[in-house]
Amino acid sequence: MQNIKVFLNEDEMPRQWYNIAADFARPMPPPVGPDGKPLTPEMLAPVFPMNLIEQEMSTQRWIDIPDEVLQLLWQWRPSPLMRAYRLEQALKTPAKIYYKNEGYSPPGSHKPNTAIPQAYYNKKFGIKRLATETGAGQWGSALAMACKMIGLECTVYMVRISFDQKPFRKIMMQTWGAECLPSPSDRTATGRRILAEDPNTPGSLGIAISEAIEDTVHSKNTRYSLGSVLNHVCLHQTIIGLEAKKQMAKIGAYPDVVIGCAGGGSNFAGLAFPFVSDKMAGRNQLRFIAVEPAACPKMTRGKFVYDSGDVAMMTPLLPMYSLGHAFVPKPIHAGGLRYHGMAPLVSHLLREKLIEARAVQQLECYRAALLWAHTEGYIPAPETAHAIAVAIQEANRAKEEGKERTILLNWSGHGLMDLSGYDAYLQGKLRDYVLPEQDLQASLASIADLPKPPALV
């Protein structure tokens, strides 16, 4: 009989988040305004509560997790560390494959790890309502749940095409009491202007972000909430890696390679950062792979630049790998990986060559996801399938090299709300896609006039 899962006792549970910014040998460039001048906390105050702005800018290594937040996270945490024995057997690999199963949370992904603390800090700051945007709905549903449990109202601007075509995430948000609007909506000036121009627009994440921010700055007691990219979001997700370290230590294991998919970067960050800390402290052989879709290759083909987080440039300029904020990826089923930029913290690690990035094609991901479902049982989210595909690549390499290798991946969520993608794959309707170089260059050219981040010294 093989031990498949590792849990933690209550006294072993992490009580602090790990802030990787404290350990950088060279500091990250700061976020700046359109004039290239560093942002001050006050400039963010209309959008975020000051307690979260402090976290966003903090370089303190450990930050206490409030008891009220822990109490809610414990509803499904610690997520089990699991060993994928049956996948290993199917691959005939000498590698050991471990994964953190983040699919046990109520909405089925890692997103509540930051939704709960974000709702908590806003509530504590006296805020009554959060506004946010969502694409396929994974983030919107997590924030809806968090707001209901903490006691805030919640308004979600959901990209119209998803709102119409994927009604189930919308119903999930409504079940948790959130107001879910198709974006563009008639609630904001931005939405009304776009609807006037094109009443049948499918909407976009860029539009939805603009609407949520406009709603925020024009409403009383309202703040904006983002599900990835930002420093405090990555911070909250480190509970995954902190648990994983303790769980692996319990069975005398340690990874050789840590893998996560990366859309905005927070689920990769959450698992990887506590281990990157070991690498920065001298464990030089340790490897990290952030996996992105070939259709949205910001880390492998984008540039390290100052760029805006949204199409309408309502956010500050962030130092990050980007394809240009006007980039529109081809529709792939991993909706959570279709963002044009990468979290500044993750971007900094990539620039410092502490981590690697790898792009994979959609069909390889679905093949990997199916093998996973057939061996481990759980059906992964299409985003998660990207991490699985690279874990399989690494396991096969271990086999070729005849080396035992310990692989740790972030199984960021289940795919039970994403079955239409599986259907399209099984019916042979999906295709791989290579982004043409001229399209990439055209998108990057559109941000050529923005301020440039300083060179690494």
Residues in the chain: 457
Asked if 12 touches its own copies (CB under 8 A), the answer is no
> Cα–Cα distance between 386 and 366 in angstroms, integer?
8
> What's the min distance (Å) between Cβ of 414 and its own copies?
8
Region near its own copies per CB under 8 A, out of 90-98, 225-233, 248-256, 372-380: 372-380
> Cα–Cα distance between 292 and 32 in angstroms, integer?
26
Asked if 86 touches its own copies (CB under 8 A), the answer is yes
Asked if 175 touches its own copies (CB under 8 A), the answer is yes
Chain center to CA of 366: 19
- Which of 22, 189, 426, 445: binder of its own copies (CB under 8 A)? 426
Can you tell me whether residue 21 is helix, strand or coil? helix
Asked if 168 touches its own copies (CB under 8 A), the answer is yes
Asked if 409 touches its own copies (CB under 8 A), the answer is no
- Say if CB 319 and CB 31 are below 8 A apart: yes
**DSSP string computed for 214-262:** HHHHTSTTEEE--SSSSHHHHHHHHHHHHHHHHHHHHTT---SEEEEE-
> What's the min distance (Å) between Cβ of 177 and its own copies?
7
Asked if 66 touches its own copies (CB under 8 A), the answer is no
- Which of 2, 284, 285, 438: binder of its own copies (CB under 8 A)? 2
Residues of this chain, 124-153, that bind its own copies according to CB under 8 A: 145, 148-149
- Residue number with CB closer to its own copies (67 or 400): 67
Asked if 178 touches its own copies (CB under 8 A), the answer is no
- Residue number with CB closer to its own copies (42 or 67): 67
Region near its own copies per CB under 8 A, out of 104-112, 249-257, 286-294, 328-336: 104-112
**Contacts of 209 by beta carbon, 8 Å cutoff, 6+ apart:** 133, 309, 310, 311, 312, 314, 315
> What's the min distance (Å) between Cβ of 308 and its own copies?
34
- Which of 48, 176, 304, 321: binder of its own copies (CB under 8 A)? 176
Q: Both tokens of residue 345? A: 């913290």
- Which of 30, 94, 106, 202: binder of its own copies (CB under 8 A)? 106
Residue type, 126: G
> What's the min distance (Å) between Cβ of 138 and its own copies?
12
Q: Which helix (H) or strand (E) holds 121?
A: helix 112-124
Q: Which helix (H) or strand (E) holds 6?
A: strand 5-6
Q: Both tokens of residue 277? A: 């800390």
Region near its own copies per CB under 8 A, out of 5-13, 341-349, 383-391, 428-436: 5-13
Pairing label, strands 96-101, 406-411: parallel
Can you tell me whether residue 15 is helix, strand or coil? coil
Cα angle at 423 between 421 and 426, to 5 degrees? 110
Write out the residues near its own copies by the rule CB under 8 A: 1-5, 7, 10, 67, 70-72, 74-76, 82, 86, 104-106, 108, 145, 148-149, 167-168, 171-172, 174-177, 370, 373-379, 416-417, 419-420, 422-423, 426
